[in-house]
Amino acid sequence: MKTNDYVKYMTQTIVKYADQPKDERKRIRTERKQAQASLWYRWFGILPYIFYSEMKRRRKR
């Protein structure tokens, strides 16, 4: 990517962000946080996450 293209992209992104109302920025931020994978999955992968969720589910019974 050329420097001019990168500057143009960054400028468009910043202007798009600045034009949004504050409440919409907060809404988008909270949606993004909710869509994130859990901490166990992000740090350790799928197998420990499955093990943890099974243990958690068995304790509830």
Structure confidence at residue 45 as a pLDDT band (50, 70, 90) = confident
Residue whose entry in the numeric block shows the structure tokens 């907060």:
26
Domain enclosing residue 53, as ranges = 3-60
Number of domains in the chain: 1
Pair of tokens at residue 50? 């499955």
Nearest-angstrom CA–CA distance, 15 and 5: 15
As a whole-number percent, the residues of the chain with pLDDT over 90 amount to 39
Q: Which residues contact 49 (CB under 8 A, 6 or more apart)?
A: 38, 40, 41
Per-residue pLDDT tens over the stretch 11-37 = 999 999 999 999 999 999 999 888 877
Among the listed residues 26, 44, 4, the one whose alpha carbon sits nearest the alpha carbon of residue 52: 44
Residue 42 has pLDDT above 90, yes or no: no
Name the band, by pLDDT with cuts 50, 70 and 90, for residue 61: low
The phi, psi pair for 24, rounded to 5°, reads -70, -40
58 sits in which H/E element: helix 46-60
